[in-house]
Amino acid sequence: MSEAPSRLHPLAVLVFARKRIGASLLPILVIAFTWRGGFALPVLGVVVAVGLTVLVLEWRRFTYRIESGRLVIERGVLRHTTRVVPLDRIRGVDLQAPWLHRVLGLVQVEVEAAAGGSSAAELTLAAVSAEEGERLRAALLSAGAREATDDPRPALVLYRATPRLLIAGGLTSGRYILAPLAVIGVIANFADDLPSALGDRLLSEAADRVPTEALGVSVLAAVGIFLALVLAAAGSLLTDWSFELTDDGDRLVAQRGLLTRRTVAIDRSRVRGFDLRDSPLRRAFGLVGVRVIAGGVAGGRPGRTALAPVIANDDARVLARAIDPLAAPDATLERHPRAALPRRLARAVVVPAALGVVALALQWWLPAAVLLLLGLVGVPLALDRYRQLGHRFDGNRLAVREGSLSRRWTSLDPRAVVSYAIERTPFQARSGLCTIVLHLGQGAGSRRVLDCSEEQAGALLVALDVPLFAPFVARVASAAQPA
């Protein structure tokens, strides 16, 4: 397959311009408006003209083509560079449409390619037309899925986010609830940069208007909470608007976003498993989020691995089986030994409580109260963290669960494991516990079996790979024999 070199869409010049200017727009404007001499406009004009020329040249010199099974990208105004990527090393093609692209009817194509070892190289075509983007994706990925059938199956919709679900998801997600705090932080930072007199005046005026009586304070608090909830719901709607997950047989394709529309395609052959994630709040409403574990999906960045940002529990079970028919999301897990409980308590209770006692001794009443309260809350938290620990291997899939505030249930194909490690701290050694770490490779990260007994670890490892582990295991063989 060979084709003539193509250029990016001519409007890519605008996209280039926005990218270049993005960082320097403010200084340029400041210079333009504060320059006292009469040079401001001419200087600005020259800068714009030179800049535009450079950008147009950049656009002219940027070409791409698919040639004898390789993607070839040539670029560079002063220094010419050529990048060649064999199509069979391409792991994924994402189409992204930030707001400017959407206005202009363009998409940005991000090509993810395997690049030796663990790193992944990313090539970006800054702006092509939407049709060209789709065509490129099909052409670039067709080499990966060689036995692509002639009659493509109609894409099956596995999940579709309704606004109601997304609102519920935003309201129950720590990420979106806490996001407004981050915004306030940013604004506060900006306020620091404002002329101090202005900032102080605004602050004192605001302070004058803050009500001090009980009714006023509670009204203010209620308004604040209401605003935070509205913002959380809006954040969820914005990022995951009309999230849709489809399955065309070879690939899982997720589309989402209101302003920036994002498309992520994941080769089914690279799927190694998935996570079901929830929090106590989501558990109360019977909601979970589903994320894929797959090689070559940009280091498992949450934005790229989401299969369903928020989904009802029962639907998640159906979705799980559609992604991996061998997954067993309802199977009972094997619990970890009781010795794991003191470790959870030590982390959640003993540390804040000890700090609280120190604070008490130093007569720092407020920190002491907060820390002791944290220690108290830590008790049920530690109990739940212990209760959630578990794993199960049924011969096909490994299921692992851990966490409470952020609980994660993982289903994993053990054939995806690249290397195994067993880790044991002195504290674990005393209780006969250890942690198994399974490294997955190609940016899929690792998963662990936390605080299982040494016997469980041995039995699990041998079950995962009998020929590999049998020579190394000392006691399982004798334990398996009848006494």
Which residues of the shown chain bind another protein in the complex (CB under 8 A)?
116-118, 295, 418-426, 429, 434, 439-442, 444, 446, 454-455, 457-458, 461, 465, 467-469, 471-476
Q: Which is nearer to another protein, 235 or 300 (CB)?
A: 300
Nearest to 93 by CA among 260, 292, 261, 266: 266
Q: How far is the CB of 275 from another protein (least distance, A)?
A: 17
Residues written for the chain: 483
Determine phi and psi for 29, rounding to 5 degrees: -65, -40
Q: Are strands 63-67 and 6-7 parallel, antiparallel or unpaired?
A: antiparallel
Q: Which helix (H) or strand (E) holds 319?
A: helix 313-323
Q: What is the 3-state secondary structure (H, E, C) of 201-233?
A: HHHHHHHHHCCCCHHHHHHHHHHHHHHHHHHHH
Closest distance to another protein from the beta carbon of 425 (Å): 6
Nearest partner of 61 among 50, 48, 73, judged by Cα: 73
Q: Residue 241 or residue 469: which is nearer to another protein going by CB?
A: 469
CB of 444 to another protein, least distance (A): 8
Return the number of the residue (93 or 462) whose C-beta is nearest another protein: 462
Q: Are 269 and 415 in contact, with CB atoms under 8 Å apart? A: no
Residue type, 272: R
Give whole-number Cα distances, 40 to 20, 115, 147, 400, 480, in Å: 20, 47, 62, 64, 85
Nearer to another protein, 127 or 398 (CB): 398
- In whole angstroms, the minimum distance from the beta carbon of 116 to another protein comes to 8
Q: What is the dihedral of CA 71, 75, 81, 85, to 10 degrees?
A: -10
Q: Distance between CA 355 and CA 257 in Å, rounded?
A: 44
- φ, ψ for residue 106 (rounded to 5)? -115, 165
Question: Among candidates 379, 414, 421, which has minimal Cα distance to 399?
Answer: 414
CA–CA separation, 129 and 379 (whole Å): 56
Beta-bridge partners for 108: 96
52 vs 418, which CB is nearer to another protein?
A: 418
Could you tell me how far CA 310 lies from the centroid of its own chain?
Answer: 14
325 versus 467: smaller Cβ distance to another protein: 467
Of 375 and 414, nearer to another protein (C-beta) is 414
* Residue 252 C-beta: closest distance to another protein, Å: 21
Q: Write out the two tokens for 75.
A: 């670029």
Which CB, 152 or 432, lies closer to another protein? 432
Among residues 117 and 482, whose Cβ is nearest to another protein? Answer: 117
Please spell the DSSP secondary structure of 369-408, one letter per residue.
HHHHHHHHHHHHHHHHHHHH-EEEE-SS-EEEEE-STTEE
CB 385 within 8 A of CB 344: yes
Nearest approach, Cβ of 477 to another protein (angstroms)? Answer: 11
Residue 7 vs 430, nearer CB to another protein? 430
Closer residue to another protein in complex, CB, 7/475: 475
Q: Please state whether 84 falls in left (phi above 0), alpha (psi between -120 and 50) or beta.
A: beta
Query: Closest distance between another protein and the C-beta of residue 454, in Å?
Result: 5
Pairwise CA distance, residues 248 & 156, whole Å:
6
Distance, in Å, from the CA atom of 398 to the CA atom of 219, rounded to the nearest integer, reads 50
